[in-house]
Structure 1
Amino acid sequence: MHDLKKYINNISPLSEVTWQQFQNIFKERRLSNLDFFVREGEIATKIGILQEGLVRGFYRNEDGIEYNKTFFTAPSFIGAYASLITKKENLINQQALSDCNIYEAKYHDFEQLCSKNIELERLAKKIAQLHFVQKEKREIELVMLDAEKRYDILKSEFPNIENQVQQYHIASYLGITPTQLSRIRKKIKSLHM
């Protein structure tokens, strides 16, 4: 829990009393590789903090083709925020790509605490702001940068990603085919020889 406390305090510092209240609503949970934290079609009720492991956020089109939207590495908040806020069905699956340790809480309990505690309200606001900035950055990258540059960014943001996930997941995240990814990797490798 010490690392988790440090992570939270880096986002928005909490007093010891607030930290205890926050910690008390979370329970430790293990996700095995390929388990889902939340699935499409569900109405989300929980938030999580990824303590260890890797989770992908993805959606499926009508033909069943999967598109990776994001990767979550520890530590980070996970959860179907749109569903939590709107109380409508979730559209984005969140699936473990390794064995994961998470801390999980009912979103309702978190909301209740935030409504009574300005420090937690500030934390929730900061988390939302960080997710907004991250989402906007990702959207700009997809529109403005070529696949090779997006691949460079992915490797810098997730340095060990290629050892953790299959190549087709990386290709999907980049918005390209596995064949295109293979060509990019070969090109980069030949430049470094």
Structure 2
Amino acid sequence: MNPNVIFLNSFLDVSEETFEKLTSISTFRKIEKGVQIDKSGEIPSKIYLLISGIMRAYLSSETGKEFNKNFFMPFSFVGSLTALIKKRPSRLTYETLTECKVYELNFDDIIKFCKEDILISNLYSKVLERIFIRYEERQLEFISMDATERYLKLRKKIPGIDGLIPQYHIASYLSITPVQLSRIRKKIDKN
């Protein structure tokens, strides 16, 4: 079975007809490493289904310092949802950290289909629920786990992350410095 159908069925049983409708409004793209698919200050119009590779969402300060908000692994929906819904400029930039394969969808087309097809509307609702749950889990990590625990959880979530993503990106995601991350790694390696 098509892995994309399997992924969508993890939210809700998706008929072949519904899958075909979604396919009709999507474009497959291969994106090189280091490409910004959505930029801070711009109004996005697309949402992406990440099929392979790793992406990140980050915020840039006025001084140019970057703060990683999220990493995205295959079979994730990627995009500035708040900016898409409100039709306002995004505060975040979305960038490929490795070569990525995605399905690109126009957000307005999805919303149009939601109004016409209850199955697509239900799928959209389930996707939003999953996004909210992951957001809440991430917030709870920050208030209930120390940096070492967050790092170990991230390594479990993204096996081999240390070889895939530069240390400063990982440290930023964990809200620690690269030096602190280096110390945590040394301590883990000793144990």
TM-score, normalised via structure 2 length: 0.97
Counterpart for residue 80 of structure 1: 80
What stretches of structure 1 of length at least 5 have no aligned partner?
Answer: none
Counterpart for residue 142 of structure 2: 142
For residues 64 and 57 of structure 2, the distance between their equivalents in structure 1, rounded to whole angstroms, comes to 15
Alignment-mate amino acid for residue 103 of structure 1? Y
For residues 174 and 119 of structure 1, the distance between their equivalents in structure 2, rounded to whole angstroms, comes to 37
Alignment-mate amino acid for residue 178 of structure 1? P
Alignment-mate amino acid for residue 82 of structure 1? T
SS across alignment from 1:137: helix
The alignment of Structure 1 onto Structure 2 pairs a total of residues equal to 191
RMSD value, Cα: 1.1
For residues 29 and 41 of structure 1, the distance between their equivalents in structure 2, rounded to whole angstroms, comes to 23
Counterpart for residue 94 of structure 2: 94
- Structure 2 matches for 1:43-192, cutoff 5 A? 43-191=43-191
Alignment-mate amino acid for residue 22 of structure 1? L
Report sequence identity in percent.
36
1:17 counterpart = 2:14: no
For residues 84 and 69 of structure 1, the distance between their equivalents in structure 2, rounded to whole angstroms, comes to 17
For residues 132 and 46 of structure 2, the distance between their equivalents in structure 1, rounded to whole angstroms, comes to 20
Alignment-mate amino acid for residue 128 of structure 1? L
Alignment-mate amino acid for residue 95 of structure 1? E
For residues 77 and 123 of structure 2, the distance between their equivalents in structure 1, rounded to whole angstroms, comes to 12
Alpha-carbon displacement from aligned partner over 1:73-121 (angstroms, at most 9, x marks no partner):
1111111100000111101111000111110011111111111111111
Structure 1 residue 12: Cα displacement: 1.3
Q: Which runs of 4+ in 1 moved over 4 A?
A: none
Structure 1 residue 143: Cα displacement: 2.0
For residues 120 and 73 of structure 1, the distance between their equivalents in structure 2, rounded to whole angstroms, comes to 23
What stretches of structure 2 of length at least 5 have no aligned partner?
Answer: none
Alpha-carbon displacement from aligned partner over 1:125-151 (angstroms, at most 9, x marks no partner):
111111111111111111221100111
For residues 144 and 16 of structure 1, the distance between their equivalents in structure 2, rounded to whole angstroms, comes to 42
Counterpart for residue 3 of structure 1: 3
For residues 166 and 7 of structure 2, the distance between their equivalents in structure 1, rounded to whole angstroms, comes to 28
For residues 13 and 77 of structure 1, the distance between their equivalents in structure 2, rounded to whole angstroms, comes to 18
Alpha-carbon displacement from aligned partner over 1:34-80 (angstroms, at most 9, x marks no partner):
00111101101011101111101111112111011110011111111
TM-score, normalised via structure 1 length: 0.96
